[in-house]
Structure 1
Amino acid sequence: MIPFDLNDTLALLERTPDVLDNLLEGLAPAWLMNNEGGDSWSPHDVLCHLIECEAVNWIPRIDIILSDKEDKRFVPFDRFRNLDVMKEQPVAALLEEFKKRRTGNIAWLRSRKIGPGYNT
């Protein structure tokens, strides 16, 4: 098992937008909009989901964990919400939105100066 290191994790998280951009940018809509059938997701759907996660999931949850509030319950996460909201957005716009949100979230997390011995 690899020991957890926040800086290593942030380095991975920082690379994700560029990896997705290299993987998806410029592909034909047939590759981006189709899924495997049933409840499977297309690459477009996955991008919508990742944007939703950046907006309302992992950073708000970290904020709850680090807060001094007694109630540490998470707000339920609707992983399907953005699929309809962003269905008309082109992949290029979604890639840019994801990069913007991920960059901002990592900057916010770094600003919290979390590390060994961190106390809320």
Structure 2
Amino acid sequence: MESPAPPREDMIVCVGALEAALLPCLPARELQAIDRSPHPSHQIDVERHARDFMEAAKKLQMYFIGLQREDEPTKGETLRKEIAVMEEELKIKNEVINKQERLIQGWRKELKGQLDKHNTELSRV
């Protein structure tokens, strides 16, 4: 298999093909005159130019669709991003939990200190 051409070269080839197909169609008055011409060879030229133009337009459209697909992340990339976001959320939530646990431990120490103080006072009385 051949390696795919760089996107810029693909674009240039597609635009060149479109231009080559379009150029014979540019003189509209001449094209209309040929279209109305009774000569079958003139009618064939018009049909050939139209067919060439449509083929070039289809190639260009397929090229742009291919570019659009290249821009979309793959399923694996999407999952990796989602996992990274979830891991970051988990890290943040763990930090919050640890902070809350330290706060609760501080309260326990304060309450134990107050309880000991009250018990000491009650023992004296």
TM above 0.5, yes or no, is no
Which structure: greater helix fraction? 2
User: Quick one: higher RCO (CA 8 Å, sep 6+), 1 or 2?
Assistant: 1
- TM-score normalised over the length of structure 1: 0.32
- TM-score normalised over the length of structure 2: 0.31
Structure ID, larger Rg = 2
